[in-house]
A and B are shown apart, each in its own frame.
Chain A
Amino acid sequence: MADTILVVVEQREGKLNRVSWETLAGGQALAADTGWALEAAVVGSGVAGFAAEIAAKKISKVYAVESPKLEPYTPDAFSAALKQFLESRQPKLVLMPHTYQVRDFVPKLATAMGRTAISDCIGYKKDGAKLVFTRQMFQGKLAADVSFACDAPWFVTFQNGAFRGDKVEAGASAASVETVNVQIADGVVRNKPQEVFKEAKQAVDLTQAEIIVSIGRGIKEQKNIELAKQLAEALGGEIAASRPICDSGWLPMDRQIGSSGQTVAPKLYLALGISGAIQHIVGMKGSRTIVAINKDSEAPIFEIADYAVVGNLFDIVPPLTEEVKKAKAVG
């Protein structure tokens, strides 16, 4: 049997999680570089619709891995279902987005199969026949190329922003979809999850925002946040912050970007008065375009910025907001 790359996509709240498209784009790139076939799987109960959505992309086959026991999500059920499925298909590579859900079951699944997962990767390299996966170490201060030293299937999870979701190639014709019903015995699922809920009423999903205006210690006082909010509003974006701002209670915790907050990859990330501590950078460096405004010319944020302004944000933000409004008015 030819080698296969299998992408396991993630759905939540009736939508495919956006990072699934990124992983699929990564799968397409790997398929092109290795010549291996690309397939995808959606795991859950009643997921055929998602499978059809994936089948429109450039892919050889899509599986809907189904069992009523897969809803709601539990690590026991997902691990059991995928183990059964993977043992019957024997893919070479299994790719998944590095989401909280995937982190919850992949180490269990890989261990149950006597395999390992290279987690939270930001890319891959093909050196002759050798495939290595690049991941950040030491909070992003160093990078490592990691290879597998065991038999397939090889599990790899990709960080949010590792690939461009909008670069997924469409297929010439729809790929076939096969439903695979897996058997999960009684007693396998031990956890009893309750309803998912939001703590803060206005909780926002920054991972879905296309434009983010983010503030750091340079904003100095809580009342100054208004300046950043006006800019965000003019741009049609969301406001976010580095950890110290949220720890001070100036913005709610769900607006926090970074290793302990959300990981985002918007089209535009505008960093105001953010120095760029690694804990923050890991949460936003996948952004397509990064604009940094900071008065310290040595601030590490400039290392990853596409556009940089060395200056006082209080001087630059008000005229910037006005210019954005003007540009928008012209249309």
Chain B
Amino acid sequence: MKILVCMKQVPQKDAPLKLNESGTWIREDVSYEVNEPDAYALEEALRQKEKHGGEVVVITSGPARAQQVLREALAKGADRAIHLEDAAFVGLDALNTARAFAAAIKDEQFDLIFTGLQSDDYGYAQTGVVLAELLGWPHATIIMQIEKNEGGIRVKRELEAGFFQFVDMPLPAVLTIQSGINKLRYATLIGIKQAKNKPLRKVSMSEVQSALSANLQTIERLYVPQKTKQTQFLEGPASEVAKKLVDKLRNEVRVL
């Protein structure tokens, strides 16, 4: 199976974020890491390749710093990488990001494309599904298991409230992968060494520009959410606090 994994570099979870001057995005000077669900998507692709043979290709878009995500993926076992390198890719909406990816892989023939189920920065949860529609492929989201079968694949979708569902689908297909689908591996020293010699194709903005349009949605303003709540602090000895709280629950919250 030939699998493409779409990966994204996002600010580290605990990194303090600063707004840029126009208040429409964050300042670049933060620490970055791989988007967590994307790491699971890569791991799943590597496992599928180990089972069925084939090739794992990783793709990302963003400025030079984003190459780190691809290097790590190559060190873990991906065969080659594609980097849509330009700072302007960061500002694309989900539709244009998917269009850029579709344009960059137009000469390739993948059986499967994996993405993480959503990114930790935008959190749109859309790029994978949009990409499937652009390619005309079927898709399934929030996947917790993938098995090859006669007609294609059987995947396990996570639904809400503890429900799951198996779905049979033909290939090629796009799947968005849920965190926790597998256990992540670490890159080995040999892997890190080998990664240096693996092919990494760079794609410039101008190569995919004709596939893009102006964004269909605009971030007007990015800001720190205002605290809207008035917090009442209840103080005193434990037994008194318990009484006060029950009084609030009864007379103000009205749940007792």
Task: Name A residues whose Cβ lies closer than 8 Å to a Cβ of B.
Answer: 75-76, 79, 99-101, 103-108, 110-112, 115-120, 132, 135-150, 190-200, 203-208, 210-211, 235, 254, 260, 262, 267-268, 279, 288-291, 302-312, 315-316, 319-320, 322-324, 326-328
Our pick among A119, A132, A306, A307 for the contact of B126 (Cβ within 8 Å) is: A119
With a cutoff of 8 Å between Cβ atoms, the chain B residues found around residue A149 in the complex are 214-218
Residue B256 CB within 8 A of the other chain: yes
A-facing residues in B182-225 (Cβ within 8 Å): 214-225
With a cutoff of 8 Å between Cβ atoms, the chain A residues found around residue B125 in the complex are 103, 107, 119-120
Verify A142–B255 contact, CB threshold 8 A: no
Residue B75 CB within 8 A of the other chain: no
Residue B106 CB within 8 A of the other chain: no
In the complex, the chain B residue whose C-beta lies closest to that of A194 is: B166
Verify A306–B138 contact, CB threshold 8 A: no
Our pick among A111, A135, A197, A203 for the contact of B161 (Cβ within 8 Å) is: A203
- Complex Cα–Cα for A304 and B231 (A): 8
Q: List 22 A-B contacts (CB under 8 A).
A: A103-B125, A135-B123, A139-B120, A142-B19, A148-B218, A191-B138, A194-B168, A205-B161, A208-B161, A235-B255, A267-B253, A268-B249, A289-B253, A307-B245, A312-B238, A319-B239, A322-B242, A323-B245, A324-B249, A324-B256, A327-B249, A327-B250
Within the complex, the shortest CB–CB distance from B225 to chain A, in Å, comes to 4
Residue B53 CB within 8 A of the other chain: no
With a cutoff of 8 Å between Cβ atoms, the chain B residues found around residue A115 in the complex are 216
A-facing residues in B88-125 (Cβ within 8 Å): 93-95, 98, 120-125
Our pick among A100, A146, A195, A307 for the contact of B160 (Cβ within 8 Å) is: A100
With a cutoff of 8 Å between Cβ atoms, the chain B residues found around residue A103 in the complex are 125, 129, 141-142
With a cutoff of 8 Å between Cβ atoms, the chain A residues found around residue B51 in the complex are none
Verify A291–B138 contact, CB threshold 8 A: no
Task: Name B residues whose Cβ lies closer than 8 Å to a Cβ of A.
Answer: 11, 13, 17, 19, 26, 93-95, 98, 120-127, 129-130, 132-134, 138-142, 158-170, 178-180, 214-225, 227, 229-235, 238-239, 241-243, 245-246, 248-250, 253, 255-256
Verify A260–B180 contact, CB threshold 8 A: yes
Most B C-beta atoms less than 10 A away, residue of A106, A116, A118:
A116
Verify B233–A308 contact, CB threshold 8 A: yes
In the complex, the chain B residue whose C-beta lies closest to that of A132 is: B220
With a cutoff of 8 Å between Cβ atoms, the chain A residues found around residue B163 in the complex are 196-198, 203
Question: Known: A111-B133, A149-B216, A315-B238. Contact between A143 and B164, CB under 8 A?
Answer: no
- The 6 A-B pairs with the shortest beta carbon distances in the complex, nearest first, are A203-B162, A116-B216, A205-B161, A107-B129, A254-B162, A319-B242
In the complex, the chain B residue whose C-beta lies closest to that of A208 is: B161
In the complex, the chain A residue whose C-beta lies closest to that of B168 is: A192
Verify B162–A205 contact, CB threshold 8 A: yes
Verify B161–A254 contact, CB threshold 8 A: yes
Verify B231–A307 contact, CB threshold 8 A: yes
With a cutoff of 8 Å between Cβ atoms, the chain B residues found around residue A193 in the complex are 165-168
Most B C-beta atoms less than 10 A away, residue of A148, A207, A309, A322:
A309
Within the complex, the shortest CB–CB distance from A294 to chain B, in Å, comes to 12
For the complex with contacts A104-B129, A138-B17, 15 further pairs of A-B residues with Cβ separation under 8 Å are A75-B140, A101-B159, A106-B129, A107-B125, A111-B129, A141-B17, A142-B26, A142-B225, A144-B221, A196-B159, A197-B163, A204-B161, A303-B227, A308-B234, A327-B256
In the complex, the chain B residue whose C-beta lies closest to that of A321 is: B242
- Complex Cα–Cα for A38 and B211 (A): 36
Verify B238–A138 contact, CB threshold 8 A: no
- Complex Cα–Cα for A307 and B222 (A): 29
With a cutoff of 8 Å between Cβ atoms, the chain A residues found around residue B230 in the complex are 306
In the complex, the chain B residue whose C-beta lies closest to that of A288 is: B253
With a cutoff of 8 Å between Cβ atoms, the chain A residues found around residue B253 in the complex are 267-268, 288-289, 306
Verify A305–B231 contact, CB threshold 8 A: yes
- Complex Cα–Cα for A119 and B124 (A): 6
